[in-house]
Structure 1
């Protein structure tokens, strides 16, 4: 394999070792650790003043208890060839508020990463106050509105190059009442130092986001 950019090489070392063992890529003591990607989940907006809106904002009492089941195994195999379909659950200090899962693998020269995160505020056991994220109108910086998902949704797309190696990424953010769902999907081809097409990455991220929103509704 050719020499890889440092940041990508750092990701791939644990992929080869930990993915085979089914171990989550989080450091001990780091309760909310996850790879930093573009278009991170936005901060919840202020509580709506209308009583009816407040009830809607508190629709979801907790985050999904089994986030790795949010994406069907068949979709995981398609989006992340070679990955363990069971996924790596996000380690968090408050599973009633925040849960998530990631899948990652290097299949021959093709690398893929899929990550989903659920963030619920104002739930029965949450620590995020009484308001929710459903009342906001602004999405993550640089993202564009995306129709057909949740109450509000956005997608941010980026193609980066480091040491001649291209990486393409899409981040979908969906707001549903008092919950925010964030899906990150990226990939790179270390054979030709290129990246998957924009269509492949965008459709993969949107497809996984649709499954994650369905899981939020139970």
Structure 2
């Protein structure tokens, strides 16, 4: 009995103290020891992550897109020599031409001339000449060069001329010696009660596209101009316009 009394007293004393003291002072020596915290690298998976990243193949960079060679366009109204304008559009209202509207003349420009040459009882001859320029820059995001964009534009402009509403006797011929590629579209078109002869020449030089249209008709009994004659003059004028693009970028 004397041996159990001290043991019983000790148990009762532990039961009377707060729970926190029970956990620290009254626990037995057989309680398990706390585990050591895991190493930082292991807890974050650093070893495996680093290995995974190093195992990833290097990102392949797309080849650089060729930079556009033509940085600007010429003054459209000065792209065709004054002597040529006077020959193709006699008695023109404005020899200096009428510039087309553009908010960015380095990417888009144009000019036109027109005239009515009155020959009295022999009738009158009407002529219209216009030239337009489009310049394209390379697009890194789409991996397309300025020249490639110009090629696409060339095809669209040519298709537009070939698909002129109401056009008859439409013919397309490849033109050599004018830029990298060029084609002439000729046709007849009746409007304002008269038969007009038309020719549109579309040419590409590097990353620029040149479109030139030349048309005419006869009034008061005068015959309309021959398509072949207009075509020859239009091709020559287009060659001048393409040359103006080259000169503007020297």
Q: Are the structure 2 counterparts of residues 150 and 191 from structure 1 closer, same or farther at C-alpha, using a change threshold of 3 Å?
A: same
Residue 113 in 1 paired to residue 132 in 2? no
**Structure 1 residue 107: Cα displacement:** 1.1
- Per the normalisation by structure 2, the TM-score is 0.59
Of stretches 104-113 and 189-198 in structure 1, the one that deviates more from structure 2 is 189-198
**Structure 1 residue 161: Cα displacement:** 2.3
Residue 169 in 1 paired to residue 181 in 2? no
Give the number of the structure whose alpha-carbon radius of gyration is greater.
2
Query: Which string of whole-angstrom CA distances, capped at 9 and with x for unpartnered residues, describes residues 139-182 of structure 1?
Result: 62233321111001011111122465110010000011110000
CA separation in 2, counterparts of 1:94 and 1:138?
22
User: Which residue in the other structure is 2:174 paired with?
Assistant: 145
- Per the normalisation by structure 1, the TM-score is 0.67
Higher-helix-fraction structure: 2
Q: Calculate the aligned-residue CA RMSD, in Å.
A: 2.3
Q: Are the structure 2 counterparts of residues 144 and 103 from structure 1 closer, same or farther at C-alpha, using a change threshold of 3 Å?
A: same
DSSP-derived class of the 1:96 partner:
coil
- Indicate conservation of the 8 Å contact 1:167/1:194, yes or no: no
User: Which residue in the other structure is 1:202 paired with?
Assistant: 231
Where does structure 1 lack aligned partners over 5 or more consecutive residues? 1-48, 124-128
Residue 155 in 1 paired to residue 200 in 2? no
**Structure 1 residue 114: Cα displacement:** 0.5
DSSP-derived class of the 1:54 partner:
coil
Q: Are the structure 2 counterparts of residues 138 and 90 from structure 1 closer, same or farther at C-alpha, using a change threshold of 3 Å?
A: closer
Tell me which of 72, 77, 81 is aligned to 2:90: 81
Of stretches 186-195 and 97-106 in structure 1, the one that deviates more from structure 2 is 186-195
User: Which residue in the other structure is 1:99 paired with?
Assistant: 109
Query: Which string of whole-angstrom CA distances, capped at 9 and with x for unpartnered residues, describes residues 182-213 of structure 1?
Result: 00000001122631012221012111101101
Higher relative contact order (CA 8 A, sep 6+): 1
Residue 187 in 1 paired to residue 183 in 2? no
DSSP-derived class of the 2:223 partner:
coil
Aligned residues: 161
Q: Map of 1:49-68 to 2, 5 A cutoff?
A: 54-55=66-67, 58-64=68-74, 66-68=75-77
- Indicate conservation of the 8 Å contact 1:160/1:168, yes or no: yes
Q: Are the structure 2 counterparts of residues 196 and 101 from structure 1 closer, same or farther at C-alpha, using a change threshold of 3 Å?
A: same
**Structure 1 residue 106: Cα displacement:** 0.8
